[in-house]
């Protein structure tokens, strides 16, 4: 019996339909009996197609003697798949016929011509893939809606951007309140994904009628679609190695952002930011840049240590890091010795660090407490600094500074390939930009306002330290300290104030 195989990936005006393919193949069958195998909506890039699989099983059982297709690329667009398929055809004595391309598969020349045609079929497929990817990348840079699942907290509304009809996100007030609550809870040092899930369960807060899951919380906390992006967000993604489609001056603290995985990147796009693309979106963000960055940096830190692990041995957990490799130090208590030590997590996991030496946890806690007291004596009341509210003049200067730094980085990359003339021009331009950069830094520092009050205010906590709970000590340390880099011989504290 003959087999007629037809395939169509998508319905297009310029593509031949399955029905037309079958008519051409019927003529080639010359009135002999045949069985139809049709795959509609399947690509030719591989052989994972139900009708194709059924046809191959029938061939192996001896039910088929000839396979007829309209065109070679209907059955395969992959050289490896086609070679394996032709080997199986030969093994079971099955003839292969293409109605538009006449091949004699019994001769070496016919088989060679067949393989050449498959090469061009694969080239066509890869060219189409590249063209689609380039079009997607180009459209994404214009802030156009690119499809996909609508993030929780938004709904779609029609929009016109740059004369192109598209869609944009619109805030759903009820869901947006839940998003804000997620960020506010996770911004607390002691809060984990599990804590948020338990809190929502107690309050009866569900997502689509089901309890919240860790993966959905992580997606929300890492997605810049929710942030009201300002210069601090611009600087964060630039430091992470992401490409940014918009100028620094466009980040005014209003719009959310789209984040796309780079064309050559692999894996989840929110997990690795290097090589990605950040684009300002037309919609308004939900959470402030300060709150979003605090949560996003906490997510980044969680990738280096075991996530969702509650601190129990030291109030410095999450703050104290190895002064050799920068990984987190873990507090370990040994009851037999009646002593506690800080151990490098990098050394514990992979032996990739020589370790910071012997660090007794109780002694270092006393040392850090003493340094916190010294720092606090500068203030009667500690107030959390708001870094991003410096006024329009400071914002404009910061945008200019970011542009100058971008140009400096770009020029440095060109030095290696520059000839003598270009090298002199680059050197002169770098001197100009460096001078301008220093001037901008001085002007911005003069415009820095005094510290403003905020809801997170700590008063006299360090003077009643022993009376505080473990969580209160952690929160107090979080307001004062960004990170502590320690070895047995030295200590470096990065302050928030």
User: Which residue shows structure tokens 């000590």?
Assistant: 473
Task: Specify if 484 maps to a domain.
Answer: yes
Q: Check: CB of residue 228 under 8 Å from CB of residue 287.
A: yes
Residues 294 and 158 in one domain: yes
Task: Specify if 149 maps to a domain.
Answer: no
Q: How confident is the model at residue 287 (pLDDT cuts 50, 70, 90)?
A: very high
Strand partners, 332: 341
Q: How confident is the model at residue 118 (pLDDT cuts 50, 70, 90)?
A: low
d(CA 497, CA 483): 12
Q: What is the pLDDT of residue 464?
A: 73
Residues 158 and 204 in one domain: yes
Q: What is the mean pLDDT of residues 102-124?
A: 68
Residues 115 and 67 in one domain: yes
Residues 94 and 210 in one domain: no
Mean pLDDT, the chain, rounded, equals 80
**Which residue, 94, 109, 138, sits at the end of a domain?**
138
Across 15-19, 48-52, 214-218, least confident range: 15-19
User: Which residue shows structure tokens 């055809």?
Assistant: 89
| Strand 481-486 to 457-458 pairing | unpaired
Which pLDDT tens digit goes with each residue over 393-433?
666 777 777 777 777 777 777 766 666 677 677 777 877 88
The dihedral built from the CA positions of residue 274, 276, 282 and 287, taken in this order, carries a sign that is negative
Task: Specify if 120 maps to a domain.
Answer: yes
Residues 377 and 396 in one domain: no
Residues 247 and 295 in one domain: yes
Task: Specify if 375 maps to a domain.
Answer: yes
Residues 482 and 346 in one domain: yes
Domain CATH for 74: 3.40.50.1390
Is 169 exposed, middle or buried (CB count within 10 Å of its CB: 0-12, 13-18, 19+)? buried
Q: What is the mean pLDDT of residues 101-112?
A: 66
The dihedral built from the CA positions of residue 46, 49, 52 and 57, taken in this order, carries a sign that is positive
Helix axis angle, 173-186 relative to 214-222, nearest 10°? Answer: 90
For the beta carbon of residue 395, count every other beta carbon within 10 angstroms. Answer: 21
Which pLDDT tens digit goes with each residue over 449-493?
544 433 344 545 666 777 778 877 887 888 788 888 989 888 899
**Which residue, 138, 163, 197, sits at the end of a domain?**
138
Task: Specify if 464 maps to a domain.
Answer: yes
Domain count of the fold of the chain? 4
Task: Specify if 41 maps to a domain.
Answer: yes
- Of residues 137 and 172, more confidently modeled: 172
**Which residue, 302, 330, 348, sits at the end of a domain?**
302
Residues 372 and 401 in one domain: no
Residues 186 and 232 in one domain: yes
Residues 222 and 326 in one domain: no
Q: State yes or no: pLDDT of 82 exceeds 60.
A: yes
Beta strand extents in 75-134 (DSSP E only): 95-98
Is 311 exposed, middle or buried (CB count within 10 Å of its CB: 0-12, 13-18, 19+)? middle
Residues 277 and 296 in one domain: yes
Task: Specify if 315 maps to a domain.
Answer: no
Residues 235 and 272 in one domain: yes
Residue 328: strand, helix, or coil: strand
Helix axis angle, 214-222 relative to 193-203, nearest 10°? Answer: 110
Task: Specify if 144 maps to a domain.
Answer: no
Q: Check: CB of residue 145 under 8 Å from CB of residue 158.
A: no
Helices in 253-350 by DSSP H: which ranges?
289-302, 345-350
- DSSP letter at 285 equals P
Q: State yes or no: pLDDT of 15 exceeds 60.
A: yes
Which pLDDT tens digit goes with each residue over 325-371?
888 888 887 666 556 888 888 787 667 788 888 888 888 888 888 88
Range of the domain at 129: 2-138
């Amino acid at each position: 019996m003959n087999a007629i195989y037809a395939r169509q990936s998508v319905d297009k005006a310029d593509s031949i339909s399955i029905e037309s393919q079958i008519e051409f193949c019927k003529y080639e069958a010359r009135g002999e009996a045949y069985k139809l195998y049709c795959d509609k909506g399947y690509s030719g890039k591989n052989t994972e197609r139900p009708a194709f699989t059924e046809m191959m099983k029938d061939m192996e059982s001896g039910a088929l003697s000839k396979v007829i297709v309209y065109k070679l690329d209907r059955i395969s667009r992959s050289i490896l798949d086609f070679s394996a398929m032709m080997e199986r055809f030969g093994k079971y004595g099955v003839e292969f016929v293409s109605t538009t391309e006449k091949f004699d598969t019994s001769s070496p020349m016919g088989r060679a011509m067949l393989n050449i045609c498959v090469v061009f079929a694969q080239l066509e497929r890869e060219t189409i893939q590249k063209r689609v990817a380039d079009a997607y990348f180009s459209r994404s840079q214009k802030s156009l809606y690119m499809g996909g699942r609508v993030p929780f907290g938004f709904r779609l509304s029609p929009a016109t951007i740059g004369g192109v009809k598209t869609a944009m996100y619109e805030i759903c007030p009820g869901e947006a309140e839940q998003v804000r609550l997620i960020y506010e809870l996770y911004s607390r040092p002691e809060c984990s994904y599990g804590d948020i899930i338990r809190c929502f369960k107690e309050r009866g807060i569900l997502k689509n009628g089901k309890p919240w899951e860790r993966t959905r919380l992580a997606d929300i906390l890492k997605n810049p679609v929710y942030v009201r992006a300002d210069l601090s967000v611009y600087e964060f993604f630039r430091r992470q190695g992401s490409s940014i489609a918009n100028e620094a001056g466009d980040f005014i603290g209003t719009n959310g952002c789209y984040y796309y995985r780079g064309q050559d990147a692999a894996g989840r796009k929110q997990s690795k930011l290097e090589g990605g693309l950040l684009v300002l979106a037309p919609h308004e963000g939900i959470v402030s840049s300060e709150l979003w960055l605090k949560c996003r940096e906490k997510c980044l830190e969680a990738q280096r240590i075991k996530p969702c692990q509650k601190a129990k041995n030291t109030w410095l957990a999450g703050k104290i890091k190895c002064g050799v490799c920068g990984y987190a130090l873990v507090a370990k208590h040994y009851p037999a010795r009646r002593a506690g030590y800080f151990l490098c997590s990098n050394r514990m996991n992979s032996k990739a660090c020589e370790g910071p030496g012997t660090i007794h946890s109780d002694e270092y806690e006393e040392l850090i407490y003493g340094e916190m007291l010294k720092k606090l004596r500068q203030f009667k009341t500690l107030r959390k600094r708001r870094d991003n509210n410096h006024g329009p003049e400071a914002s404009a200067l910061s945008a200019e500074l970011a542009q100058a730094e971008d140009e400096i980085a770009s020029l440095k990359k060109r030095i290696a390939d520059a000839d003598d003339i270009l090298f002199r021009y680059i050197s002169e331009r770098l001197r100009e930009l460096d001078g301008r950069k220093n001037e901008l830094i001085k002007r911005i520092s003069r415009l820095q306002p005094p510290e403003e009050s905020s809801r997170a205010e700590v008063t006299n906590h360090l003077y009643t330290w022993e009376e505080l709970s473990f969580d209160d000590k952690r929160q107090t340390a979080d307001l004062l300290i960004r990170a502590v880099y320690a070895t047995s011989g030295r200590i470096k504290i990065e302050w928030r104030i």
